[in-house]
Amino acid sequence: MKIASLIIGLNCLFQILSNAQNCLPAVMQHKNNSQIDTGNASGFNQRGTLKFNKNDYKGAIMDYTKAIELNPKEKYVFYNRGSAKIALEDYYGAIDDFTKEIELNPGFANAFYNRGWSKSRLTKYRQAIKDYNKAIEIDPKFAASFFNRGLAKIYSGDKQGGCLDLSKAGEYGLNNAYDSIKKFCH
């Protein structure tokens, strides 16, 4: 569950940093859910993010679903809903949502990363590696993708390739990669 908490925390940070037009105004301007305009998809997306940040994942999913009903092309809403599904360990549902986000936003490395992470949780390591590859292609210094691809390679029998990826993750600032290198590569 620690890994899931880390992913959720990274998703929240990512939403705030890269999706400022949707997430940050909701956090900065609205003290509670009742003050958000839920007359449109963006409002439901914002309210879902507030619920997500309060660990109300089922409530967040309901709001993200409503946003999708109102505007199925709303940017990041499938990603957000997929992240909430990860928190509830609904990895198949998360994969479906990340796939839809990728269709709408094919240059979004985090959607590939989270879809790969979900596949890894289902021990579909070879499929996960393909998603991590794409995330790294989009963002060549995506340390977490190198880390998770390294573990997926190790679990699927490619210890040498996995250890190289773990090392790369460490080079890009993911210091816990070195603990995994000690555990799996020596």
pTM: 0.83
Reported in sequence order, the residue ranges of 2-159 that DSSP labels E, i.e. its strands, are none
Mean per-residue pLDDT, 51-65: 97
Q: Is the pLDDT of residue 51 over 60?
A: yes
Cβ(137)–Cβ(153) below 8 Å? no
- Measured CA to CA, the distance from residue 92 to residue 31 in angstroms comes to 33
Predicted pLDDT at 171: 97
**Phi and psi dihedrals of 180, rounded to 5?**
-70, -35
List the domains of the chain with CATH numbers: 1-89 (1.25.40)
Residue % of the chain over a pLDDT of 90: 78
- Measured CA to CA, the distance from residue 98 to residue 119 in angstroms comes to 11
What's the full length of the chain, in residues? 186
